[in-house]
C-alpha cells in the first residue's frame, strides 16, 4: 500500500458521476489509509480553457464544496489549490529541461483532445507540456501512489520515465510513483462517450432528480432497438453500464427484459434515473448545509496549503541543489 497519495481535478465545472466512480470514492477511502494530497488543478484547467478563465474561481470553490459534500475530510488530507504553490511551476521548468519533446508528442491525449475539442485552439506549449506539469505535481510531494483512470496511465508512465532520466542525470532523488487503478468501469455519458464536462454529456452530482431523469432519458441505447418490440443487447447499451453500478440487485432481470423486449428503453431508463437520484440525496443535503458557511472552500484551501508547502519546499531545495541552481 502506498504511503503518500496525490491526485487532483481540473476545476472546469461541477463534479459528475464519472468523477465519483472514477476517483472520488477511492480518494475518500485512501484518506483513511495514507498521507493524502488532493489538489485543485487550476493551471491544468488553463491548458484547454485559457481563452475564458472567467469561471475558474467559481469552479474552484464549487469543486472544494463538492469534495467535502462527497466525504473528503480536510482534517485527514491536505486539500490545496495548485496555483497557490509556485514551487510546482518552478519544478516543472526544471523537469522540462530534461524531458525530450518526442516523449510529449507521443502521449495519446495530445492528439485525442485536439480531435475531441476541435472548436478550441489547444495546440499550445502549455497543453503539450501538460504531462510535465503533472509529473511536477506528483513528485513535489514525493507521492508513491497516484489514483488514475486507464486513460491517465500513459501520463503516469511518462512521469516514471522522467524520474528515471532525472535520477540518471543527477543521482537517485525520486522513487517511481505507482498507479492505483480505479476498480470502477468506464462511466458512459449521455452520448455513449466517456462522461466528461468537456463533451457536455455528464450527470452532475448536484443535479436535481428532475435533471437526472431528463439526462438519463436522452442516453443512447442499443441502436438495434428501433421500436418497443425490438429485442436488444444490454452489453451494447450505455444505460445498462450504469445499471451495473446502481441496480446490481436487478441486473439479471433488466438484462433479460432488454434481450426479450420485455420492456422498452423508457422503462429501463426510468428505473436507472430513480436509483441515481436516490443515491445522491445525502450528497445534495450535505452540500446545501455546507453552503451556509461562506468562504468555507477558501478556508480549506488555506489550511491545505500550510500542510503541503513545507513538503514542496524541501523537495524543490533538493532539486535546485542537484541541478546546480542552489
Question: Which tens digits make up the pLDDT trace of 159-189?
Answer: 999 999 999 999 999 999 999 987 766 899 9
**CB neighbours of 55 closer than 8 A, spacing ≥ 6?**
13
Query: Please, are residues 73 and 42 in contact by the beta-carbon 8 Å criterion?
Result: no
CB hemisphere CA count around 131 (13 angstroms): 26
Higher-confidence residue: 140 or 51?
A: 140
For the domain 209-279, what is the CATH superfamily, name and number?
Tyrosyl-Transfer RNA Synthetase (1.10.240.10)
Identify the band that residue 14 occupies on the pLDDT scale cut at 50, 70 and 90: confident
Identify the band that residue 233 occupies on the pLDDT scale cut at 50, 70 and 90: very high
- Give the closest residue to 93 by CA, choosing from 120, 138, 132: 132
Give me the percent of the chain exceeding a pLDDT of 90: 78
Which one is the CATH code of 4-187+294-322: 3.30.70.240, 3.30.70.380, 3.40.50.720, 3.40.50.620?
3.40.50.620
Where exactly does CATH 1.10.240.10 map onto the chain? 209-279
- The pLDDT score that the predictor gives to residue 110 is 63
Burial 71-95 (b: 16+ CB within 10 A, else e): ebebeebbbbbbbbbebbebbbebb
Where exactly does CATH 3.40.50.620 map onto the chain? 4-187+294-322
Task: State how far the alpha carbon of 238 is from the alpha carbons of 160, 245, 259, in Å.
Answer: 34, 12, 15
- Give the closest residue to 65 by CA, choosing from 313, 309, 324, 297: 297
Question: Which tens digits make up the pLDDT trace of 258-307?
Answer: 999 999 999 999 999 999 999 999 999 999 999 999 999 999 999 999 99
Task: State how far the alpha carbon of 40 is from the alpha carbons of 10, 13, 56, 100, in Å.
Answer: 6, 12, 11, 27
Q: Dihedral through CA 182, CA 186, CA 188, CA 193, nearest 10?
A: 130
Q: What is the separation, in whole angstroms, between the first and last Cα of the chain?
A: 34
Amino acid at each position: 500500500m502506498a504511503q503518500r497519495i496525490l491526485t487532483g481535478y481540473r476545476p472546469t465545472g461541477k463534479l459528475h458521476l464519472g468523477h465519483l466512480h472514477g476517483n472520488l470514492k477511492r480518494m475518500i477511502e485512501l484518506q483513511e489509509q495514507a498521507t493524502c494530497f488532493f489538489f485543485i488543478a487550476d493551471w491544468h484547467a488553463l491548458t484547454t480553457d485559457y481563452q475564458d478563465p472567467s469561471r475558474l474561481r467559481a469552479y474552484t470553490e464549487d469543486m472544494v464544496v463538492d469534495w467535502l459534500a462527497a466525504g473528503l475530510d480536510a482534517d485527514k488530507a491536505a486539500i490545496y489549490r495548485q496555483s497557490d504553490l509556485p514551487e510546482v511551476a518552478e519544478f516543472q521548468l526544471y523537469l522540462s529541461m530534461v524531458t525530450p519533446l518526442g516523449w510529449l508528442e507521443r502521449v495519446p491525449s495530445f492528439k485525442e483532445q485536439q480531435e475531441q475539442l476541435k472548436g478550441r485552439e489547444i495546440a499550445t506549449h502549455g497543453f503539450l507540456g501538460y504531462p510535465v506539469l503533472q509529473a511536477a505535481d506528483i513528485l513535489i510531494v514525493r507521492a508513491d501512489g497516484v489514483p488514475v483512470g486507464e486513460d491517465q496511465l500513459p501520463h503516469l508512465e511518462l512521469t516514471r520515465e522522467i524520474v528515471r532520466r532525472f535520477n540518471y542525470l543527477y543521482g537517485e532523488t525520486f522513487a517511481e510513483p505507482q498507479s492505483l487503478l480505479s476498480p470502477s468501469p468506464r462511466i458512459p455519458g449521455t452520448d455513449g462517450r466517456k462522461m466528461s464536462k468537456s463533451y457536455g454529456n455528464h450527470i452532475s452530482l448536484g443535479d436535481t432528480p428532475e435533471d437526472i431523469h431528463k439526462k438519463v432519458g436522452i442516453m443512447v441505447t442499443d441502436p438495434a432497438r428501433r421500436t418497443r418490440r425490438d429485442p436488444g443487447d444490454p452489453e451494447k447499451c450505455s444505460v445498462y453500464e450504469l445499471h451495473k453500478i446502481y441496480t446490481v440487485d436487478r441486473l439479471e432481470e433488466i438484462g433479460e427484459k432488454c434481450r426479450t423486449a420485455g420492456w422498452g428503453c423508457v422503462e429501463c431508463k426510468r428505473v436507472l434515473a430513480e436509483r441515481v437520484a436516490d443515491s445522491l440525496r445525502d450528497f445534495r443535503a450535505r452540500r446545501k448545509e455546507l453552503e451556509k458557511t461562506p468562504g468555507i472552500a477558501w478556508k480549506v484551501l488555506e489550511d491545505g496549503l500550510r500542510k503541503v508547502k513545507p513538503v514542496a519546499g524541501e523537495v524543490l531545495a533538493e532539486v535546485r541543489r542537484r541541478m546546480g541552481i542552489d
